[in-house]
Amino acid sequence: MIVDKIVAYNRYFKNKIFHEIFSKLEEINLNTPDGEYFRTKDYYFKVMSYKTKLSSPIVESHKKEVDIQILLSGKEKIKVFDFENVKIKKEYDEVIDCVFYESNGEPHSIVNLYPNSMAVFFSEDIHNPQLAVDSKIENLKKIVIKIDEKLFT
Residue 128 pLDDT: 98
**Share in percent of the chain as helix, strand, coil (round to 5):** 15, 50, 35
Residue 18 pLDDT: 96
Say if CB 121 and CB 127 are below 8 A apart: yes
Q: Please return the burial class of 11, using the count of CB atoms within 10 Å of its CB with bins 0-12, 13-18 and 19+.
A: exposed
- Predicted confidence (pLDDT) at residue 122 exceeds the cutoff of 80: yes
What are the pLDDT digits (tens) for 32-42? 999 999 999 99
Spell out the domain ranges in the chain: 2-152
C-alpha dist (Å) from residue 106 to 18, 85, 86, 119 = 33, 7, 9, 19
Give, as one character, the DSSP assignment of residue 33. Answer: P
Say if CB 87 and CB 111 are below 8 A apart: no
d(CA 98, CA 125) in angstroms, rounded, equals 12
Q: What is the pTM of this model?
A: 0.95
Grade residue 19 by pLDDT with cuts at 50, 70 and 90: very high
- Predicted confidence (pLDDT) at residue 93 exceeds the cutoff of 80: yes
d(CA 133, CA 66) in angstroms, rounded, equals 24
Say if CB 142 and CB 49 are below 8 A apart: yes
Q: Which CATH class is domain 2-152?
A: mainly beta
